[in-house]
Structures are given as structure tokens and as C-alpha cells.
Amino acid sequence: MIVFADAGVELPGGTVLLRDVSLSLSERRVAVIGANGSGKTTLVRLINGLTAPTSGRVIVDGLDTVNDRKAVQRRVGFVFQDADHQLVYPTPAEDVALGLRARGRSARDARRDALATLRRAGLGHKADQAIHTLSGGEKHLVALCAVLALDPEWIVLDEPTTTLDLVNRRRVIDAMEDLDQNLVIVSHDLDLARQSDRAVLMSDGAVVADGAPGPTVDAYVDRVTVL
Amino acid sequence: MTLSLYWPGGSWLHRLPAGVKLVALVAISAAVVAIDRPQVSVGVLVAAVALVVGVGVPWRILIRQMRPFAVVTLVLVAVQAAIGRWDEGFVAAGRLLAVAMLAVAVTLTTRSADLVAWLERVLTALRLRPRRVFRAALAVGLALRSIDHLGVVAHRVLDARRARGLQRSVRAFAVPTVVAAARFAHGVGEALDARGVADPDVPVARAEPER
């Protein structure tokens, strides 16, 4: 379970990115929706400890994201919005193996497990291909594989289908549907949000709607229509 | 030219250990530079081309990889010609192309993972601690990835500059490219942090001997 206990984020100049959010997330698929600048990414960055709350706390499976940051990062995988920034090695096999090597696995075992993960995602034949030659969807899948190889309990995906064409969008969504982990998905893709178990609507750094995906997405659409 | 452009294959050159290829590259390149005879440079260049084409790399790939060196070579010859030293220009050009062709041969037939793994074995043999070896290998891998990515970024920036009719503007190229590089560096840092790569609590396994 992920618990936000009056969690807030305020910048040194006084700008508030997140306002005293209190949530408990235990559903298998949680969508976080809202306009640009509404606080979606700030909210989910708290889960992995990438951003520390300036007020309140965030607890992941009993672990504080500030005091137990390393342990939290082992339980929560994070797939960034820009896959290019997440892929740090020249080829998919090396990149997926990186996290395994950092966890103490030998180079041979890390490569073997990396290849197995890539094959499951349908990317085994691209394991040694230069990453900059992959399509956007393939890069997102490689980034997801890099996280999956570490077997986290939770996976946060920040706009996983933004900028993808229909084919690549479908590939990424199909890959996500097959995952056993709990997912927290930031998305502008309202069709994707409607397929989740729960949706959280953000606006101006606060949660303005939370619950079943259908009504929450409708509330978002109504707000946009009014504007 | 990208540093991580590997052309898959099963030739004897592909199967040759990365360390052997790298040592041969350094040794032959040193000989080309040290032996001041154009015939040696030309001979090495021709042999390297025959080697690469012989193991199945298409001509178009070879030409694409060598194009930047050809441009530099032309500039080199032009500069030497301008000061009346045609012969020295051609000799220097021959050396440059020969060494570049050898490097391309290694790049096309060696996976970057094998290069990095060889580096790890060398550093381990020098008795560096496993964590330092891992970080050195990470730095090399990151450098290869960064150069590839920034190469793509530079092309996009040049296209954007052209679309805006600013082909002569250095600023229109430099500023977006530097900003993109800084964003990439920041993003990569966060990604490494999120993946726990910098975790001091987890021991890193020693590099393994080459089979």
C-alpha cells in the first residue's frame, strides 16, 4: 500500500507543487490524470523517493520514502516520461543488465536475465541493437524491461503512451496489461485511465476527484469543458 | 559515426575477443604513425576495407561510417596544399584514413557490451575494487550512449534550425544542443538514482574471466 499522509511539496521560492495530499493506494491499477502542471508527476515522484515531501510523509509498504529511500527504490520501479533519459547504456541488453549488476549479479547472469526479460517483451531480437535506432515504443518497452528485471512490487509509469503512435501505444499497453506488479500510471490517455481500477484527478497541486475511473474521468472532462 | 554501431554477424572477426581487437588496433595504428611510408598507410587501409567487407558489412554502412573522416581528410589536404605541402598532406591523410578504417572495423564487429566487459577484466586484473571497476565500466557505457544520443539531438536541432531559416546561426544550434545535453545529463542522473545504481550497500560482483 502507498500512503500519502498530508504530503506536500513546496519550492524554496514559495511555489507550491503539491498541497497536503492524503491518499491510500492499494489497487492494482491506479491512473493519475489532470492537466499539465496539475501536480501529477510531482505526486508520483514522491512514491519512488525521487522527490522528498517538504511536508507530511509518504509510506510505501510500511517504508518511509525519505528515511528508507533505498529500500523504497528497490520496491518501486519508475519508468520516466522520456525513455531516452532513462536508457543509459548503448544497447537494450546492457541497459537492462545494468540494474542487475548494481544489485550484485555477475555479468553473465545479468545478461542472461536481461535477455530473458527482453524476449518476454518481444524485443529479444533487438537486444544488441543501438538504442538510438529503436522506435519510441520500443524505447519505452526497453525502459520498462529495465525496471521489470529488478522485480519491483510497484511500478510508476509517467505518461507511458504520450508521443507514441497507435501501434506503439498498443504494444506498451499490452505489455502493461500482462504485468503482475501494481501500477500507478500518469496519463493524458483517458481511454487508458478508464481501464484502471481507480483514478485520481489532480488540479493545481491538489486531488480534486478520486474513485472509480469512469466518474473521475468524466469529472476531468467536465472541468475542461467548463474552461 | 556513432560509437555503438555494431553490425551483427558470426564471422571470425566478430568472434575474435574484444581485447585482442583493441590491442591490435592500438599496435597497428602506432605502426602506421611511426613508419613514415605512404605504402604502409595505403596497405593498411586497403587491408582494413577488405577485412570489413569480407566479413559481410555492406559498403553503404562502411561509407557512412567513414564519411566524417573523409571530410576531415579533405580539410587536412586542403590546408597542407594551401601552404605548398601536397605530399605531406596526402601522407597524413593516408595515415588518418588507415587508422580510422581500423577503428571502424573494430566498432562494426564488436559489441559495446564486450568492449566494456574487457575493460572490466583489465581493471580487475589491476586489482581495483569491484565497485570502482563497475563505475569505470558504467562511465564508458554512459559515454557511448551519450555520444549516440547527442548525435541524434544535434541532427534534430540542425533540422529545426533549417526549418526556421537560421542555417547560419551558431546560437540557434549551440543553445538548444547544450540545453538538450544538460537535460539528458539530469535525466540520466535521476534514472540511475531511481534504479539504485549508486547504492553503496550492495556489493558489486567481480568481473569474470573471458571464455
CA B17, CA B114: separation in Å to the nearest integer?
8
CB contact under 8 A, B194 and A73: yes
% pLDDT > 70, chain B: 91
Contacts of B150 in chain A (CB under 8 A): none
pLDDT in tens, A28-80: 999 999 999 999 999 999 999 999 999 999 999 999 999 999 899 999 999 99
Contact B190 A130 (CB under 8 A): no
C-alpha cell at A196: 484502471
**Contact state of B134 with A103 under an 8 Å Cβ cutoff:** no
Interface contact flag, A90 B112, Cβ < 8 Å: yes
Extract the C-alpha cell encoding B204.
558489486
User: How does pLDDT run across A174-204, given as a tens digit for each residue?
Assistant: 888 888 999 999 999 999 999 999 999 999 9
ipTM of the complex in this document: 0.82
Q: Are A101 and B134 inside 8 Å of each other by CB? A: yes
- Give SS3 for A189: coil
Integer angstrom CA distances of residue B208 from A111, A116, B71, B114 = 13, 20, 41, 12
The reply to whether A102 touches chain B by the CB within 8 Å rule is yes
Q: pTM value?
A: 0.80
The mean pLDDT value of chain A amounts to 91
Q: Furthest-apart CA pair in chain A: how many Å?
A: 57
CB contact under 8 A, A107 and B192: no
Judged by CB atoms closer than 8 Å, whether chains meet at A86 and B191 is answered as yes
| pLDDT (tens digit per residue) in A104-160 | 888 889 999 999 999 988 899 999 888 888 988 899 999 999 999 999 999 999 998
Q: Which residues of B touch A90 (CB under 8 A)?
A: 3-4, 112, 141, 144-145, 148
B129 versus A196: which is more confidently predicted? A196
Q: Is the pLDDT of residue B6 over 50?
A: yes
Which residues partner with A63 through β-bridges?
A60
Q: Which of B195, B201, B210, B211 to mutate to test the interface with A (most CBs of A within 10 A)?
A: B195
Chain B residues 123-152 with a CB less than 8 Å from chain A: 134, 138, 141-142, 144-145, 148-149, 151-152
Q: Which residue of B has its CA nearest to A103?
A: B202
Q: Do B149 and A132 make contact, defined as CB atoms within 8 angstroms?
A: yes
Beta-sheet strand order (sheet of A63-64): A16-25, A2-10, A55-60, A63-64
Judge contact between A177 and A191, C-beta under 8 A.
no
Option in B120, B144, B184 nearest A90 (CB): B144
Residues A90, B148 contacting (CB under 8 angstroms): yes
Mean pLDDT of chain B: 84
Alpha helices by DSSP H, A121-197:
136-148, 166-177, 190-194
**Distances in whole angstroms, Cα of residue A14 to Cα of each of A5, A10, A17, A54, B60:** 21, 6, 9, 11, 57
Residue B152 has pLDDT above 60, yes or no: yes
- A18-38 in b/e burial notation, b at 16+ Cβ within 10 A? bbbbebebebebbbbbbbeeb
**Cα separation, A149 vs B111, whole angstroms:** 21
List, in sequence order, every residue forming a beta bridge with A23; answer none if it has no partner.
Answer: A4
Alpha-helix residue ranges (DSSP H) falling in B83-129: 86-109, 112-125
How are beta strands A2-10 and A55-60 bridged, if at all?
antiparallel
Question: For chain B, how long is the longest CA-to-CA vector?
Answer: 63
Burial B20-57 (b: 16+ CB within 10 A, else e): ebbeebeebbeebeeeeebebbbebbeebbebbeebeb
**In angstroms, what separates the C-alpha of B122 from chain A's closest C-alpha?**
15
> Do B90 and B38 meet the contact criterion of CB atoms below 8 Å apart?
yes
CA distances from A148 to A77, A125, B35, B145 (A): 8, 18, 53, 21
